[in-house]
Chains A and B, each alone.
Chain A
Amino acid sequence: MSVRSVPGSRWVIKGARVLNGDPADLYVDDGVLVDDAPANADVIDADGLIALPGLVDLHTHLREPGREDAETVETGTLAAALGGFTAVHAMANTDPVADVAGVVEQVWRLGQQAGHCDVHPVGAVTVGLAGERLAELGAMADSAARVRVFSDDGKCVHDPLLMRRALEYVKAFDGVVAQHAQDPRLTESAQMNEGEISGVLGLAGWPAVAEEAIIARDCLLAAHVGSRVHFCHVSTAGSVELVRWAKSKGWNVTAEVTPHHLLLTDDLVASYDPVYKVNPPLRTHQDVLALRNALADGTIDAVATDHAPHALEDKETEWAAAAFGMTGLETALSVVATAMVDTGLLDWAGVADRMSIRPADIGRLVRQGQPLIAGAPATFVLIDPAATWTVDASQSASRSRNTPFAGRELSARVISTFLRGAPTVVDGKPT
């Protein structure tokens, strides 16, 4: 099918199962879903496919500006669309850092130009991610990029007083601080999860408590000042317990988990292949099970990719010298299907909730994560739930190749992605 469409096109999606419900036709006219089939529409046969609202990623590294050799807004958002995403939050740790209105607007405009999905820049909490003084959070919120999520991701806002101030300050524009929970002193030169395997491999350990101590502190801080707080990539069973406890108190706490922490464990590090080097590190089987259960019961609100592309030379090194991070946009939905749907922990409506509706709400995105009913934006993804496929890193649309899933067989596959009535991906290929 060769269709190059622009908003305003008319579509009939025949026989799609919305949230895995009964087959029904979806009608698209002028960027929104409508009740009746529009005249002169293009028809897509969606027999056997599931329709979900377009996926929303709270945590993407697009690397532009600064490391265009690893990823650009163009390549990263194309990978996102192929993965079923219609919106991504672009993390602030670029070069220059996205800590002023100028940088976030630049990233936002690059996203608009690329057109593969919405790009919502994340603003840095502190100037230069240095953890010393607040960046101009209000200016970024008021900019064209309308920043609502602020994060020093890659670094922890470690100073408790600074964190308190940030939590309080963003209330003025309904923003949220997304904390990268990692006590720096407890993780000095840390290389992998601290446990049996780190001891055997002689790699400096990264204790779970370094994450959990910050989460506990920030839950208490958020409750004290009456702010909401979001935790990036929680990775341990203990973190899950703390978030569960904070939610039971009625505090405004949300959390995300990455696909890789739902599937991979620290024993993979025994190969010393830095494709498995990531921050926070791969944890134990027990942690993986706790994270899956927490995502299933809603303790963890969202799946976020932490897509972290790296140039080959930053990964083809000895372990200690390699960069932290894994790509994830193109595999996220399939990993979640494999880890959560195949195991019976989550149904497809649950997947829509954790990968679209809730992340859109956390990011305060009004045009994303909407139910697929008449009047809503025609922003959705069609998924073949019966497909299985083997990940081939060389086929990635990302500029980088550091996927830990290479060679793995995963379930379910994104077939088509629509952003406000315009297809960004059709039949698994970019339009």
Chain B
Amino acid sequence: MNRHLLSAGDLSRDDALLVLDTAADMDAALAGRSIKKLPTLRGRTVVNLFFEDSTRTRTSFEVAAKRLSADVINFSAKGSSLSKGESLKDTALTLEAMGSDAVVVRHSASGAPHRLATWIRGSVVNAGDGTHEHPTQALLDAYTMRRRTGRLEGLSVAIVGDVLHSRVARSNVLLLSTLGADVTVVAPPTLLPVGVGSWPCHISYDLDAVMPKSDVVMMLRVQHERMQGGFFPTTREYSRRYGLDARRMAALPDDAIVMHPGPMNRGVEIAAEVADSVRSTIVEQVANGVSVRMAVLYLLLGGLMEVDISDAAPVPHERGVA
């Protein structure tokens, strides 16, 4: 695992499993306790740098950082002059000067976290960049799947909807294939990227054909601007062909689960009775998001000083770690 978490594709299988296992340990460590706080990252500063509104992701990172006793600074840049491209670097240098140990960044431009990572010394965590990736969402999704179904290897996962513009889909395809799941993306052809044939997944235009063999169905949000963008004729037709309603859900295997990264368009990509059914993991995903983000922050920040120390003169009894 690198100093940064920019893409789910950067995680090796061992890295990914370490995050999931650590998240499980975090869950266990806090389960049933009245004090849901660990002193681990005391004195570290985590900056939430959000150029786009995302209350749920920002809050999830904030809770995760606070449960590890880190200091959290919320830097909301949307609408201010900071949303102009020129100042991303200035913002980075400002955060650097304030001594931030990690920057959690959400940005409307694909690759913005990669740029940020070249300008600052601390860790950068990608909390969603444009239409590129959202690696912690994929990690929490994988974590949720493993908790619910007990496995990831060989698990059949259908990812349904606007794959073209979805950072959730990209990160999930990369991470789940690394973890041995069998992924199928399902979308109208207009909402699949041109190069999707080279992705480590199957491709289908037919949701009904995919449902009976899916252990997990992940519904993607249809963005309002896509509804206007001519990617499909009408919302009604999209919903009919690619929405998940009770009839389609009935075609799933008995123990299959339904996921959604939120926020949902009830009645468009997912029917209310599906979202509220026992198969739905949507609320669980939110809770798991905190544990997974705690694990990520711990693993990235816990050992940040190691490089410096390795250059220092050895202390006689400083030998190894147990």
Q: Given the complex, which residues of A lie within 8 Å of B129, measured CB to CB?
A: 202
Contact B109 A198 (CB under 8 A): no
Cα distance A199–B88 in the bound complex, in angstroms: 24
A202-B133, A272-B111 known; A318 and B85 CB under 8 Å? yes
Given A197-B195, A272-B111, A316-B89 contact (CB < 8 Å) = yes
Q: Does the CB pair A201–B115 fall under 8 Å?
A: no
When distances are taken between beta carbons in the complex, the residues of chain A under 8 Å from B115 are 272-273, 317-319
Q: Which listed residue (A198, A200, A313) contacts B86, Cβ 8 A?
A: A313
Contact residues in A for B199 (Cβ distance below 8 Å): 199-200
Knowing A272-B110, A318-B111, A320-B130, the reply to whether A198 touches B88 (Cβ < 8 A) is no
B170 at interface (Cβ–Cβ under 8 A)?
Answer: yes
Chain B residues, CB < 8 A from A202: 110-111, 129-133, 167, 170
Residue of B nearest to A322 (CB): B85
For chain A, the bracket of interface size reads 20 to 34
Identify the closest chain A residue to B110 (Cβ).
Answer: A202
Question: Digit string of A311-327 for contact with B (CB within 8 Å is 1, else 0)?
Answer: 00110111111100000
Is there contact, CB below 8 Å, between B195 and A200? yes
Contact B111 A205 (CB under 8 A): no
Given contacts A313-B86, A317-B86, A322-B85, contact A203 B110 (CB under 8 A): yes
- Asked if A198 and B195 sit within 8 Å, CB to CB, the answer is yes
Q: Answer whether A319 and B170 are a contact pair too, CB < 8 Å, given A198-B193, A272-B114.
A: no
| In the complex, chain A residues whose CB is within 8 Å of the CB of B2 | none
Contact residues of B between 184 and 225, Cβ < 8 Å to A: 193-199
Cα distance, A204 to B229, chains bound together (Å): 14
Residues 130-167 of B, flagged 1 when their CB comes within 8 A of A and 0 if not, give: 11110000000000000000000000000000000001
With an 8 A cutoff between CB atoms, is A207 at the interface? Answer: yes
Task: Decide: B111 and A203 in contact? CB cutoff 8 A.
Answer: yes
- A201 and B85 contacting across the interface, CB-CB below 8 Å: no
In the assembled complex, the Cα of A194 lies from the Cα of B195 at a distance in Å of 8
Contact mask for chain B residues 48-61; partner A; CB cutoff 8 A; 1 contact, 0 none: 00000000000000
Residues of A within 8 A of B112 (CB): 272, 318-319
Question: In the complex, A294 Cα to B86 Cα: how many Å?
Answer: 39
Instruction: Please report the C-alpha to C-alpha distance between residue A272 and residue B112 in the assembled complex, in whole angstroms.
Output: 8
Known: A195-B195, A199-B194, A202-B131. A319 touches B89 (CB 8 A): no
Question: Would you give the shortest CB distance from B10 to chain A, in whole angstroms?
Answer: 12
* A201 contacts B194, C-beta separation under 8 Å: no
B107 to chain A: which residues have CB within 8 Å?
Answer: 318
Q: How far is the CA of A271 from the CA of B110 in the complex (A)?
A: 11
Taken together as a complex, chains A and B put the C-alpha atoms of A197 and B110 apart, in Å, by: 13
The residue of chain A having its C-beta at the shortest distance from the C-beta of B166 within the complex is A202
Residues of B within 8 A of A47 (CB): none
Measured CA separation A288–B110 after assembly (Å): 26
Q: CA–CA, A154 to B86, complex, Å?
A: 22
Q: A251 CA to B193 CA in the complex, in Å? A: 37
User: A409 in the interface, Cβ–Cβ < 8 Å?
Assistant: no
Q: Which residue of A lies closest to B115 (CB)?
A: A318
Q: Which residue of A lies closest to B167 (CB)?
A: A202
Give the residue name and chain of the B residue nearest to A317 (CB): B85
What residue in chain A is nearest B83 (Cβ atoms)? A321
B100-115 near A? 1/0 per residue, CB < 8 Å? 0000000111111011
Does any Cβ of B come within 8 Å of A45's Cβ?
no
In the assembled complex, how far is the CB of residue B173 from the closest CB belonging to chain A, in whole angstroms?
10
Say whether, besides A318-B111, A320-B109, A321-B109, A199 and B195 are in contact (CB < 8 Å): yes
Beta-carbon contact of A196 and B85 below 8 Å: no
Q: How far is the CA of A319 from the CA of B110 in the complex (A)?
A: 7
What's the least CB distance linking B205 to chain A, in Å? Answer: 17
CB distance from A400 to the nearest CB of B (A): 16
What residue in chain A is nearest B119 (Cβ atoms)? A316
A residues 270-310 near B (Cβ < 8 Å) are 271-273
Tell me the bound Cα distance from A316 to B115 in angstroms. 9
Are A198 and B194 neighbours in the complex by a CB distance under 8 Å? Answer: yes
Question: Known: A316-B89, A321-B109. Contact between A196 and B114, CB under 8 A?
Answer: no
Interface hits, B88-127 → A, CB 8 Å: 88-89, 107-112, 114-115
Chain A residues near B111 (CB-CB < 8 A):
201-203, 272, 318-319
Interface mask (A327-348 → B, CB under 8 Å = 1, otherwise 0): 0000000000000000000000
Q: Which listed residue (B85, B133, B195, B196) contacts A321, Cβ 8 A? A: B85
Q: Give the distance in Å from the alpha carbon of A10 to the alpha carbon of B127 in the complex.
A: 67
Which residues of the partner chain A approach B167 to less than 8 Å between Cβ atoms? 202
Q: Mark A246-282, 1 if CB is under 8 A from B, else 0.
A: 0000000000000000000000000111000000000
A313-B86, A318-B107, A320-B110 are contacts. A199–B132 as well, Cβ < 8 Å?
no
- Taking CB atoms, residues of chain B closer than 8 Å to A198 are 193-195
Return chain B residues, CB-CB under 8 Å to A319.
109-112, 115
Whether a CB of chain A sits under 8 angstroms from the CB of B36 is no
Task: Decide if B84 is an interface residue (CB 8 Å cutoff).
Answer: yes
| CB–CB A194/B194 < 8 A | yes
Instruction: Report the separation of the CA atoms of residues A106 and B111 in the bound assembly, to the nearest whole angstrom.
Output: 41
Least CB separation from A194: chain B residue: B194
A25 to B194, CA, bound (A): 57
Contact among A196, A201, A273, A313 with B132 in the assembled complex (CB-CB below 8 Å) = A201
A36 to B320 CA separation, bound complex (whole angstroms)? 82
Whole-angstrom distance between the alpha carbons of A349 and B214 in the complex?
64
CA–CA, A318 and B112, complex, Å: 5
The interface residues of chain B lying within 8 Å CB-to-CB of A271 are 114
> Using Cβ atoms and an 8 Å threshold, which residues of chain B touch A195?
194-195
Q: A318-B109, A318-B111, A319-B111 are in contact. Are A207 and B85 (CB under 8 A)?
A: no
Which residue from B88, B131, B196 sits with its C-beta under 8 Å from A318?
B88
A272 to B119, CA, bound (A): 13
A207 CA to B89 CA in the complex, in Å?
30
Given A202-B133, A203-B130, A321-B86, 15 more pairs with CB closer than 8 A: A191-B110, A195-B194, A196-B197, A198-B195, A200-B195, A201-B132, A202-B111, A202-B130, A202-B132, A202-B170, A207-B194, A317-B115, A318-B109, A318-B115, A320-B130
What are 10 residue pairs bridging A and B, where the CB atoms are less than 8 Å apart in the complex?
A196-B194, A196-B198, A200-B170, A203-B111, A272-B115, A318-B85, A318-B111, A319-B109, A320-B108, A322-B85
Q: Considering the complex of A and B, which 10 residue pairs feature the smallest CB-CB distances, nearest first?
A: A321-B85, A272-B111, A199-B193, A202-B132, A196-B195, A199-B195, A317-B85, A202-B131, A318-B109, A318-B112
